[in-house]
Amino acid sequence: MWAQIAWLLAYFSDIPIQGSLFAFMPLLAGGFVFCVFIRFYCPVIFKKSPSAPGWLMTLANSQAQRLALPVPQIHILRTAGLNAFALDDLTRHGHVLLHQQVLNSLTQEEIEAVLAHEMCHIANGHAGILSFMQGVMLPITLPLALLIILAYCLVSGFRRFKTNLLTANSFLSLICFPFTSIVLLLFSRQWEYQADASASQLVGKEQYLQALRCLHGSFFQHPNLLGAMNGVTKNMQDGGMTHPSLAQRINALREIGS
C-alpha cells in the first residue's frame, strides 16, 4: 500500500519518491488515532446500550481466559439485524458488539458459538489489523464520502444517511486504495475460516457446526467499511465480497480433522 501511494504521488507531482514518503505519516497517524478512539471512546459511545446479561458475561470471561485475552467489553445494539462484530485497538483489548436480534433469535449455545467466533477474531489479531487499516484510509475517504452524501441527501432526503455514507466510504476505499482493499478482501475471507476453526475448538466442533446451520445471515467481525459493499453486490446469504458463504464455511469446517 505504501509503495502504491508513493508511486502515485511521484507520478502526479514533481516530488521525488523519497520526499513523498512523508505523506505516509498522516495515514499512519489516522490508523493509530482510530485505534485509540476504539480504546477510549467505545465505552462512551455504547454507554446507553442495553447491558449484556450475566450469563453472556460469564461466557465472555470463560472464553477470554481460555484464549489468554483481556475480557472484552460486550455491547448490545438496538439496531435491526442478525449480526455481530468485533473491534480491537491493536492491544487485544477488544469490544464485541451483538445486535439485539442475536439475543432474541438464537439459543444460548448458538450465541456462545457466535461470541467465540468474534473472540477468536480478536485473539488472532484480525480485528486489530482491520481497525488499523480502515483508520489509515479514513482521513482520505471519509471527508470525501461525507461531501458526496451530503450533496446527494440534499436532493433525495436524509432518511438513509448513515447507510449511504458507509457505502460511499466503501466505494471510495476501493478507488483510492485498490491494492489495499483487494488484499483486505482476500484476507478477510481467509480470516473467517481461521476464526471458525479456532471457535470450533473453543466450544466444540459439533456445537459450532450446529450454530452455523441455524444462522440465517452472515456475521461480520467488524463494521467493515469495505464490507458495506456486500449489500450492494450480493445477498447476505451468499457471503458477499468479504465473507465466504455459510455453506462454504460449514464445508471447510467439516473437512478439518476428517
What are the catalytic residues?
118
User: Closest Cα partner for 171 from 241, 235, 238?
Assistant: 241
Q: Give the ranges where the chain is alpha helix by DSSP (H).
A: 2-11, 17-20, 24-45, 54-67, 100-105, 108-123, 126-156, 161-176, 178-203, 205-214, 230-233, 246-255
User: How many angstroms separate the CA atoms of 166 and 142, rounded?
Assistant: 9
Copy the grid coordinates of residue 203.
Answer: 466450544
d(CA 59, CA 112): 7
CA distance 148 to 133: 22
Sign of CA dihedral 39, 41, 45, 49: positive
Q: If we measure between CA atoms, which residue out of 101, 134, 111, 129 comes closest to residue 223?
A: 134
Give yes or no for a contact between 221 and 85, defined as CB atoms under 8 angstroms apart. Answer: yes
* Residue 251, beta-bridge partner list: none
8 A C-beta contact, residue 228 and residue 93: no
